[in-house]
Structure 1
Amino acid sequence: MEIRMAVTFLRVAELGSFSRAAEQLGYSQAAVTVQMKQLERELGTQLFERIGRRIRLTEDGARFIPYAQELLKAARNARTFVQGARTPSGRLRIGTAESLSISVLPPVLLQFHRLCPLVETSLHTGLISELFDMVRQNHVDLLYFLDKKTDFPDWIKVFERPEPIVFAASASHPFAGRDHIPLEEVLAEPMALTERGVSYRYDLEQMLAAEKLELHPFLETGNTDIIASLLLRHRRMVSFLPQYVVQKQVRAGRLAVLRVDGPRLQMWSQLVYHKNKWITPQMQAFLELMRRTVGPDSGEA
């Protein structure tokens, strides 16, 4: 059995399509079909049901997945042994939320470049539903996102870390340093928010709806860096953001986290990859770096 057939099998099983697997792997659809028929002959069983345009795993096909994964793992370990301590090279594709790409990842990416200078890293941002699709379609190697605790059977979670979501304003705002600020008073201030559909924005809207309150921001943008900059320039402006977005400026005494009465919202930053993903040396290096520098036991607050 050839390694490439195991790779092709796992990609077809993941995507449920010979044509899409062929496109991602750089084969013709006919080549994928030939490989899968050859694999079925070698195993002496049918791995896929082909009914019209629908491709589904048979029971034997589903049972073969862990064996194909072990085969690829053995091949990867053998290659790593042969290559020894050679510096990782190639591509690394990371799907992430824009707020994380702006506030958390830059120092990690710089350190990663120093450790793995031959790796070409690309960031792909989007809303949470778009990010989930990126993982499923193998458009990214790793996903680092912010949401409620989320687990899918096809994902391997490397770590998760709690991330408080807070009301923030300039340190010179009249509310700064004040306790028990009524939520209604905060909502009456000029407000800039992230776009609708962002996880914590949605939860805030649901929380307010339960209290018969509404949001009326004067600005919506997906770029949290713009919002943080506006908070510094506009004394009366308020926003609702992950604490990590404003943490540096809060420590510097330029922004303040407002102590608002009402329910507290918390999301989780989570690092995952698809269970069928072939872990490249550059992926392994980045995962280890993230555990050390960003993970829940890293000492970051």
Structure 2
Amino acid sequence: MTALLDIDQLRTFIAIAETGSFTRAAEMVFKTQSAVSMQMKRLEERVGKAIFERDGRSSRLTEDGEKLLDYARRIVKLNMDAIGAFADTELTGRVRLGVPDDYADRYLPDIMTRFSQANPRVEVTIVCEPTPMLVERIQAGDLDLAIITHVEHKGPAEFVRYERLLWVTSSLHSIQNEATLPLALGRASCCWRQVAVERLEAQNRPYRVLYSSWNSTAVGAMVLAGLAVSVLPESAVRPGMRVLGPIDGFPPLPSCKIGLLRNWREQTSLADALAALIVQSLDNLAGHAEAAE
């Protein structure tokens, strides 16, 4: 075998092995399920062996897959160690990152693990607030970077990720069949709330917003309790939730765009390093463009 193993494919492979699911692994590495499947097909072609076998709804490693997993973990760790060891200078200091709480839950574990391994002496201050407040903090110079829902009029954000926006309800309840649809959404200025209301009104469908919060955990709790329907990006759909579509009488929603906003007045090498890692971790634009063709 002469082909080199791809680090990104190995990271995805490890995620599948640890979760037992292509779907859950896709959420961990911030890729679509089809992109994950393609990565694993190419990895199997590289090693010349089957590394997965189906076990009901789960994906189980073959004997060759188990052998590869040990090497994969060592290769990924060694890659991170090598990057840190040969850095021209060791970064130190503090960087301030803003992120909405729902994005923090989904994206930060992977981003911060990788950043901390490469920059162990850097202090990261994380502020969890909704996009409008993070934009104000960037403008005031209180943050170096912010991961935000990309809205054109909010400022010159770097567009880094697409996600499907979905209607969700409890998988154990049928609240979506109520004559007047109960909703759990963000505050009135939330762009997801605005598009949800516009689509319902275009259908002349009666609704009422029963629960309104900036906190995604609180909104998700209302959905899981069977008290309301909400709108969430694809990666935020949790076990116990069911996606609603046209067959259920719910209109399609536009894609959710995620952006990275920078404080250009105070550019630092720390902020640049963290920004580069965020873009690398979240980027799925090529995959989205291919799917749209």
TM-score by length of 2: 0.58
Aligned to 2:144: 141
Distance 2:207 2:95 in 1: 39
Q: Distance in 1 between matches of 2:193 and 2:94?
A: 33
Q: For residues 156 and 165 of structure 1, what CA distance do their matches in structure 2 show?
A: 20
Contact 1:149–1:268 (CA under 8 A) maintained in structure 2: no
Amino acid at match of 2:245: R
1:86 has 2:89 as partner: yes
Q: Does 1:219 align with 2:211?
A: yes
Distance 1:197 1:297, change over 3 A: closer
Question: Alignment partner of 1:204: what SS?
Answer: helix
The counterpart of 1:276, out of the listed 226, 247, 265, is: 265
Deviation at 1:187, TM superposition (A): 7.0
Measure the CA separation in 1 of the matches of 2:87 and 2:252.
Answer: 53
More helix by share: 2
1:243 to 218, 226, 234: 234
Determine if contact 2:160/2:285 at 8 Å carries over to the other structure: no
Other structure's SS at 1:104 match = helix
Alignment of 1:1-301 (within 5 A): 85-149=88-152, 152=155, 155=156, 157=158, 159-174=159-174, 185=177, 188-213=180-205, 215-232=207-224, 234-235=225-226, 237-246=228-237, 249=238, 254-260=240-246, 261-280=250-269, 282-296=270-284
Percent identical pairs in the alignment equals 19
Q: 1:167 to 1:150 in 2, by over 3 A?
A: same
> 1:271 Cα deviation (Å)?
0.9
Change in 2 beyond 3 A, CA 1:88/1:259 = same
CA contact (8 A) 1:102 1:225 kept: no
Q: Looking at CA atoms only, which structure, 1 or 2, has the larger radius of gyration? A: 1
Shift of residue 229, structure 1, vs aligned partner: 3.8
CA contact (8 A) 1:162 1:269 kept: yes
Counterpart residue identity of residue 135, structure 1: I
Report the aligned-residue RMSD. 3.2
TM-score with structure 1 setting the length:
0.56
Q: Which runs of 5+ in 2 are unaligned?
A: 1-85
